[in-house]
């Protein structure tokens, strides 16, 4: 059976990975872009995959942001989020001009860096100061616009503000929404015609991410959040290495 031009097994795989990625993001703070983008690149070119995954990424962010809205630090959100949105818009324009190989390599490098940060907890001990915080904010948006993976840089920058865990996750989530809102219109303008042909898969991913976000910890199969983050980091790192080596 074929769905949206793709075999049924791939649609079910998209649904399953979307569920896992939504639950992962609700617990460890990243996962939707890191897990879904490599999956979509199994069947589509990097530009189409990144643009397609941006939509479920935004949907999951809205749901998490709404549930955590009481923890948002508005002062940081306005200043840091504005820079991130500008960076996201800039990155999105560059996204439309990069080759498939360049996008794949950038995605691979960022996945490896995200995995290293998760495996070593290095972001917990690094406290950027001064202008570096705002530079990282702009860069996180920029890389979010280019390849949709920016959580590591954003977490590093926000760590300098001494936010509580709940405030940290809430503020980071809404900043991610800012970046998505800036980059998605550019994606739709450049890749909209290609996304029309796979709208069923995109809708499936949105449903899966939302359901996974709601289910949250129930998908952990008894694993602690730290153990689960370790396993996800290893998987993301292996995928990143695969993209760096593939060259296609």
Domain chopping of the chain, boundaries: 12-246
* Residue tagged 């995605």 (tokens): 107
The residues with which 3 forms a beta bridge, in sequence order, are 6
Q: Rounded distance, CA 34 to CA 115, Å?
A: 10
- Say if residue 48's pLDDT is above 60: yes
What's the predicted TM-score (pTM) here?
0.78
Residue 192, classified by CB atoms within 10 Å of its CB into exposed (0-12), middle (13-18) or buried (19+), is exposed
Average pLDDT, the chain: 80
Indicate the SS3 state at residue 6.
strand
- Write phi, then psi, for 75 (nearest 5 degrees): -65, -45
Residues 103 and 246 sit within 8 Å (Cβ to Cβ): no
User: Percent of the chain at pLDDT above 70?
Assistant: 77
Q: In terms of pLDDT, which residue wins out, 68 or 207?
A: 207
Q: Quick one: tokens of 236?
A: 């993301």
More confident residue, 210 or 139: 210
Question: When comparing pLDDT for 234 and 195, which is higher?
Answer: 195
Report d(CA 83, CA 168) in Å as an integer: 17
73 φ, ψ (degrees, to nearest 5): -90, 105
* Predicted local confidence at residue 40, as pLDDT: 93
Phi, psi of 33 (to 5 degrees): -70, -40
């Amino acid at each position: 059976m074929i769905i949206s031009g793709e075999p049924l097994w791939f649609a079910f795989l998209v649904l399953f990975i979307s569920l896992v990625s939504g639950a992962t993001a609700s617990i460890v703070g990243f996962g939707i872009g890191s897990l879904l983008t490599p999956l979509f690149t199994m069947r589509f070119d990097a530009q189409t995959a990144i643009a397609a995954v941006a939509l479920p990424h935004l949907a999951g962010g809205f749901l998490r942001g709404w549930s955590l809205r009481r923890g948002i630090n508005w002062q940081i959100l306005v200043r840091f989020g504005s820079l991130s949105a500008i960076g996201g818009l800039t990155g999105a324009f560059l996204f439309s001009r990069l080759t498939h190989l360049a996008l794949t390599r950038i995605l691979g490098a960022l996945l490896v860096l995200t995995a290293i940060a998760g495996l070593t907890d290095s972001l917990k001990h690094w406290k950027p100061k001064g202008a570096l915080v705002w530079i990282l904010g702009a860069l996180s948006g920029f890389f979010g616009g280019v390849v949709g993976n920016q959580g590591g840089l954003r977490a590093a920058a926000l760590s300098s503000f001494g936010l509580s865990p709940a405030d940290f996750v809430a503020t980071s989530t809404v900043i991610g929404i800012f970046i998505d809102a800036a980059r998605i219109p550019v994606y739709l303008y450049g890749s909209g015609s290609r996304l029309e042909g796979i709208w069923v898969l995109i809708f499936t991913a949105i449903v899966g991410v939302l359901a996974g976000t709601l289910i949250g910890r129930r998908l952990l199969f008894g694993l602690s959040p730290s153990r689960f983050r370790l396993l996800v980091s290893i998987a993301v790192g292996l995928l990143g290495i695969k993209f760096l080596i593939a060259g296609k």
